[in-house]
Amino acid sequence: MISRRLIRIKVMQSVYAMIKSHNEDFIKQERFLKHSLLKVLDLYVLNLQLLVEVQKLASKKVSYYNNKNLITKESLKVNTKFVENRLIKKIADSISIKNRMISNKLNNWEESNKYVRVIFDELQKSELYINYMSSDSDSFSSDKEFAISFFKEIIAPNEHLTAYFEDTLISWFDDIPYVNTWILKALNKQTIDSIFTIGSLYKDEDDEEFVSVLFRKSILKREEFKNYMQERTPNWASERVADVDSILITTAMVEFIYFPSIPTRVTINEYIEISKDYSTDKSSVFINGVLDKIYKDFTKNKKIVKIGRGLV
């Protein structure tokens, strides 16, 4: 499932796109925002399927050499260990992954199979693969440990693969770190008896609603909140505030008021962290200072009403 930080980033990017394009059709932009979030699930599935495609390639090579009588039975036993990896086979047998690939026509690894070969070649040269293939251990646990390391050490950091995803869909470049984390969590959860499912995009209905409300209020309240912000930053002319900073501050203000279950400190910390990746070097300090002032002012004027213990 996607994190709320990724949702916040996507909302920030959508608001920024609307401002820069001078397009006031926020309903159309909201549809695009939700489509962008759905595409995160496609990236998730493609990364998982890459594990399967590499295993398939290995299987073809084993079959080829076996038919040619180029290896002994002893070496064949070792060479089929990766082909028989139990966790990767779970992914290969996953009905939910198969259905997603068919419904969304995710045939990327058929059209761009060179990336499968690149990953397999890199894997074969790695100590990870050599140690795994030569190990006497034969259990789901050892297969799982290998599959996780394979993804973490070979697939996730591969620059060619990253470039391919970015060229395929530009928004995927920002999504990759979150998808990688999502995949590692999913792999770690697997047991010998579990069935691999891709699960839901959102954790729950609240997260799905969070997308719409955060985006809509950030658009509809932008000018009002922007003016409010400027009143509390008299030493900063509006043209000196970076567009991204302005958006992050006003969006945080939306969270202060319209999301009573989100602690204000969580909101402030989240937008500070986002600014470190998407704005200027000094933005995090600026945003922290402005949001702290606004939070205190909102609290004094009873604009912030949080529900639950420890939420302020």
Q: Report pLDDT digits (tens) over 218-230.
A: 999 999 998 888 7
Question: Of the ranges 36-50, 207-221, 279-293, which one carries the lowest mean pLDDT score?
Answer: 279-293
User: Residue 279, SS3?
Assistant: coil
Contact 278, 244 (CB under 8 A): yes
Contact 53, 116 (CB under 8 A): yes
State residue 140's pLDDT score. Answer: 97
Q: What is the average per-residue pLDDT within 137-147? A: 96
- Tokens linked to 269: 């910390």
CA angle (50 as vertex; 46, 55 as ends), nearest 5: 150
Whole-prediction pTM value? Answer: 0.87
CB atoms closer than 10 angstroms to residue 289: 12
Residue 144 pLDDT > 60: yes
Nearest by Cα to 249 from 260, 300, 182, 238: 238
Whole-angstrom distance, CA of residue 175 vs CA of residue 191 = 27
